[in-house]
A and B are shown apart, each in its own frame.
Chain A
Amino acid sequence: MVKRKARYFPVFVLPTLTAFMIAFLIPFIMGIFLSFTKFTTVLDAKWVGFQNYIDAFSNKEFLNALWFTVKFAIVSVITINVLSFILALILTRNIKGTNLFRTVFFMPNLIGGIVLGYIWQVIINGVLYKYGVSLTFKPEYGFWGLTILMNWQMIGYMMVIYIAGIQNVPRDLIEAARIDGAGSFKILTKIIIPLVMPAITICLFLTMSNSFKLFDQNLALTAGAPSKKTAMLALDIYNTFYGSVGSEGIGQAKAVVFFLIVGLVAIIQLKLTRKREVEN
């Protein structure tokens, strides 16, 4: 039986593996190579070594985008996770209409990034119309606009994950704690949260990486206005690549740096939260 499974193993893995290699692995390796070159299209590259990286880090817009993205990620991660956890707690109490609420809160996640960005741009501009300004007036408006948008989109999704996590906490543990006289807050911190840690790991990871990688919504909401001050890392890389002649290599270098940052942050975060996971 095992032998037969082993024989069919490549047949099933091959399609996905091929697609993965073509669409991800090969471009990724090409990208790392190209980040050390100066090129116009992917076919004509000239080696320049680390110059692209030096140019990338001395570029004011890149540093601004980096700082903006970090601020945005920290704020979004905290707000999304706190709010979705609270919602999950509320919606696991078997109150009337729980299923309806869960569906409604999840639905924003189904709308694609670009459409969402444009819709929110219209909404926010409509609100700011009363004050005679538009979203491009100050970078802060763009920052909070993006935060609101991201929250609106992601809270439902994270809430669903937290609901699954909370539902896995055995009822008898909580009842036992209640009998022992533990208050709601103690139950939350000492029982529910440790047991929901796997869900927290996942949600933190997802919100962190989504916040760092945000592109569609950024482009549609502000496109970096005013003067590229609300451009996040992905948009900055896009602008560098297509903006002026000869900066494609720098754009590629920025992309490699971007990958390293996101990868590093994700690994650290995963390690930290994995350690706190408690077995049932």
Chain B
Amino acid sequence: MKKFLVILLTVALMAGSLMACSKKEETKDTGSSSNNTTTSTEDSKEVAKDEESSGNTQAASEEIYFLNFKPEISEVYDKIAADYEAETGVKVKVYTAASGTYEQTLKSEIAKSDPPTIFQINGPVGYESWKDYCMDLKDTKLYSYLSDKSLAITSGDGVYGIPYVVEGYGIIYNNAIMEKYFALTDRATTVSSMDEVNNFETLKAVVEDMTAHKDELGIEGVFASTSLLAGEQWRWQTHLANLPFYYEFKENTDYDNTILAGLAADEVEFKYAQNYKNIFDLYVENSCTPKGLLGSKSVNDSMAEFALGKCAMVQNGNWAWSQISGVEGNVVKEEDIKFLPIYTGMAGEENQGLCIGTENYFAINSKVSKEKQDASIAFLEWLFSSEKGKSYVKNDLGFIAPFNTFEEDEKPTDPLAREVLAWMEKDGVTSVAWTFASFPSEDFKNYFGDALLEYVQGTKTWDDVVTVVKDSWKSERAKTK
């Protein structure tokens, strides 16, 4: 009896210790419903009923796994997944990578036995690293929904990345504070409305005057902190860097697309470094945080400063609206929040608009089973063409989706998205295309960001920064050859 008990307990111990490691393997049993990956939501209602009544024996081959890039909206995806599962019975596992860690997370998740079936690539450069894992989507309905097919990532005949959101960024400003400034009687400039601010010189004059009057305006600084904490520098080494490189690559007339020109560049001149410095210095010198402390600030800190009314302007994109409105104690009203293009002192910038583009392309894992691929594509098609999916996209995710399945009244309702659309459609204004998809690698951006931090802290000169940018572009581009 005792012997038996001992053996029983040891076996239980073994099983227990090994079970924790192999949970994923156990869910690989195939179900009978793997052929029910329909895309229409009407008949999937019956399927859903069948599956739920059979007590959770749904096949793991119908469980799709989406690795999300945007932490700002991860909770919305959880709701979407729950709704989709209720409607179709297909389980959508959503996992969100922390800010700045998408590549690492994707790299480790995709090598596992249950890899992501839907993941993101950031453009042609991202496609290069992941091309062995991207499925050809040219025959899918999802691709046919794209209103501008040239936006997709292609290679030869195949389509491998479908953009799902058009976004724009620029200088977000709180018009209430700007109006207060324009109402000041002792101000040094003669500008009386934001419409007159259409180049760098005017912007600089207004900002510096506001800094001089900051106590009267009730702000701690004009701009929010230039967040330079590790992993939080993307607004400067990617978004702001877009402008000088856009203009530099535009001069390359061999290509009609600045991304292609950038991808072909093995070296860069960083011709418009001075323009970058213009606006960067303006941000840093008129900030609500002293220079030495910027290395400890994150993007959340900056957005909170703007939301609480401590500053009047912050550089960010239309995705930031949910961040701003979600801050406790937010004082920025929907009708006061507007966009201004990022002026850097370029000739003709009176006609420059916001920076519009996308860095978010969906890719389907070519190495998972066909059922999972079909289920994943079906989920995406549901999200962007069904009534319920589109309402999520419009109201909660706040995406400006580049699909022709969206009617006029289904465009997003948040104020920043409407501003982006307004600037995109303004007469005489050309948007700046997102060119940073052509940057050589994540490391290049990190080197740039690190150099900026040292410049701000005074341990590097601006010429050092320019050297770092040119050298790291060259060496990182060489690695991809």
Interface residues of A (CB under 8 A from B): 8, 11-12, 14-16, 18-19, 22-23, 40-44, 121, 125, 129, 131-138, 222-228, 242-247
Please give me the residue from chain B that is nearest to A245 by CB atom: B129
Q: Are A245 and B441 also in contact (CB < 8 A) when A137-B295, A226-B453 are?
A: yes
Beyond A226-B454, A227-B454, whether A242 also contacts B18 by CB under 8 A is no
Cβ–Cβ contact B450 & A19, under 8 A: no
The residue that B111 contacts in the complex, of A12, A23, A41, A136, with Cβ under 8 A, is: A41
**C-beta contact mask, B441-467 vs A, less than 8 Å → 1, else 0?**
111001100110110010100000000
Cβ of B351 within 8 Å of any chain A Cβ, yes or no, is no
Q: Is B294 on the interface with A (CB-CB < 8 A)? A: yes
Most chain B beta-carbon contacts within 10 A, residue among A23, A41, A134, A137: A134
User: Does any Cβ of A come within 8 Å of B292's Cβ?
Assistant: yes
Task: Assess the B296–A228 pair: CB atoms within 8 A.
Answer: no
Q: Is the CB of A243 within 8 A of B296?
A: no
A12–B11 CA distance with the chains assembled, in angstroms = 9
Find the A residue at minimum CB distance from B468. Answer: A227
B128 CB–A CB distance under 8 Å: yes
B14–A133 CB distance below 8 A: no
Partner of A132, one of B103, B290, B450: B290
Interface residue from B17, B129, B453, B480 paired with A15 (Cβ < 8 Å): B17
Q: Is the CB of B453 within 8 A of A225?
A: yes
Q: Please name all residues of chain B whose beta carbon is closer than 8 Å to the beta carbon of A18 when the two chains form the complex.
A: 14, 17-18
Inter-chain contacts of B295 with A (CB < 8 A): 134-137, 225-226
Q: Does B479 sit within 8 A of A, measured CB to CB?
A: yes
Whether A243 and B446, one on each chain, are in contact in the complex, defined by CB atoms closer than 8 angstroms, is yes
A residues in contact with B442, CB < 8 Å: 243-244
Q: Which residues of B contact A23 (CB under 8 A)?
A: 21
- Asked if B273 is at the interface (CB within 8 A of a chain A CB), the reply is no
Contact, CB under 8 Å: A247 / B230: no
Asked if residues A227 and B292 are in contact (CB atoms below 8 Å), the reply is no
Do A245 and B480 touch across chains, with their CB atoms under 8 A apart? yes
Give A125 to B290 CA distance when docked, in angstroms: 13
- Whether A132 contacts B292 in the complex (CB less than 8 A), given A11-B10, A224-B230, comes out as yes
What residues on A are CB-neighbors of B14 within 8 Å? 14-15, 18
Interface check B107, CB cutoff 8 A: yes
Could you pull out 16 A-B pairs where Cβ atoms are within 8 angstroms? A14-B14, A15-B17, A22-B21, A132-B290, A133-B457, A136-B296, A136-B453, A137-B457, A138-B459, A223-B230, A223-B231, A227-B447, A227-B451, A243-B442, A244-B443, A246-B479
Of all chain A residues, the one with the shortest Cβ separation from B480 is A245
Q: Of residues B231, B294, B457, which shows the largest number of chain A Cβ atoms within 10 Å of its Cβ?
A: B457
Q: Which residues of B contact A133 (CB under 8 A)?
A: 292-293, 457
> Which residues on the B side are within 8 Å of A41 (C-beta)?
107, 110-111
Q: Is residue B183 within 8 Å, beta carbon to beta carbon, of the partner chain? A: no
Q: How far is the CA of A23 from the CA of B22 in the complex (A)?
A: 12
Decide: A228 near B450, CB < 8 A? Known: A11-B7, A137-B292. Answer: yes
Once A18-B18, A223-B230, A227-B454 are accepted as A-B contacts, the answer to whether A42 and B111 lie under 8 Å apart by CB is: yes
Q: Could you tell me the distance between the alpha carbons of A44 and B295 in the complex, rounded to whole angstroms?
A: 39
Contact bitstring B86-105, A, C-beta under 8 A = 1, else 0: 00000000000000000110
Q: A19-B21, A134-B293 are in contact. List 14 more A-B contacts (CB 8 A).
A: A15-B13, A19-B18, A43-B111, A133-B457, A135-B295, A136-B453, A137-B295, A224-B230, A225-B450, A226-B453, A226-B459, A227-B450, A227-B451, A245-B479
What are the 6 tightest A-B residue pairs by CB atom distance, in nearest-first order?
Answer: A136-B295, A223-B230, A227-B450, A41-B111, A133-B292, A134-B296
Question: Smallest CB–CB gap between B238 and chain A, Å?
Answer: 15
A42 to B112, CA, bound (A): 10
The contact of A125 among B7, B111, B231, B296, by CB within 8 Å, is B296
Q: Which residues of B contact A125 (CB under 8 A)?
A: 293, 296
Residues of chain B within 8 A of A22, CB atoms compared: 21
User: What's the least CB distance linking A230 to chain B, in Å?
Assistant: 11
> Given the complex, which residues of A lie within 8 Å of B443, measured CB to CB?
243-244
**A9 CA / B120 CA spacing, docked (Å):** 50
What CA separation (Å) do A136 and B228 show in the bound complex?
A: 10
Residues of the B chain whose Cβ atoms lie less than 8 Å from the Cβ of A245: 128-129, 441, 479-480
The reply on B419 being an interface residue by CB < 8 A is no
Write out the residue numbers on chain B whose beta carbons fall within 8 Å of the beta carbon of A242: 103-104, 107
What is the chain B residue whose CB lies nearest that of A126?
B296
Q: How far is the CB of A149 from chain B (nearest CB, A)?
A: 16
Shortest CB–CB separation between residue A111 and chain B, in angstroms? 21
**Chain A residue nearest in CB terms to B21:** A22
User: In the complex, what distance in Å separates the CA atom of A16 from the CA atom of B18?
Assistant: 10
Q: Is B85 an interface residue (CB 8 A)?
A: no
Q: Chain A residue with minimal CB distance to B290?
A: A132
- Enumerate chain A residues within 8 angstroms of B457, measured Cβ to Cβ: 133, 136-137, 226
* In the complex, chain A residues whose CB is within 8 Å of the CB of B7: 11
Cα of A55 to Cα of B228 in the assembled complex, Å: 30
Residue of A nearest to B442 (CB): A243
Assembled-state Cα–Cα distance A14/B128 (Å): 44
CB of B132 within 8 A of chain A?
yes
**Closest A-chain residue to B100, C-beta based?**
A223
Q: Is B414 an interface residue (CB 8 A)?
A: no
Residue of chain B at shortest CB distance from A23: B21
Q: Given A15-B17, A19-B17, are A40 and B450 neighbors across the interface (CB < 8 Å)? A: no
Which residue of chain B is the closest to A247 with respect to CB atoms?
Answer: B479
Closest residue on chain B to residue A15 by CB atoms: B14
Complex CA gap A22/B22 in Å reads 11
What are the residues of chain B within 8 A of A42 when measuring CB–CB? 111
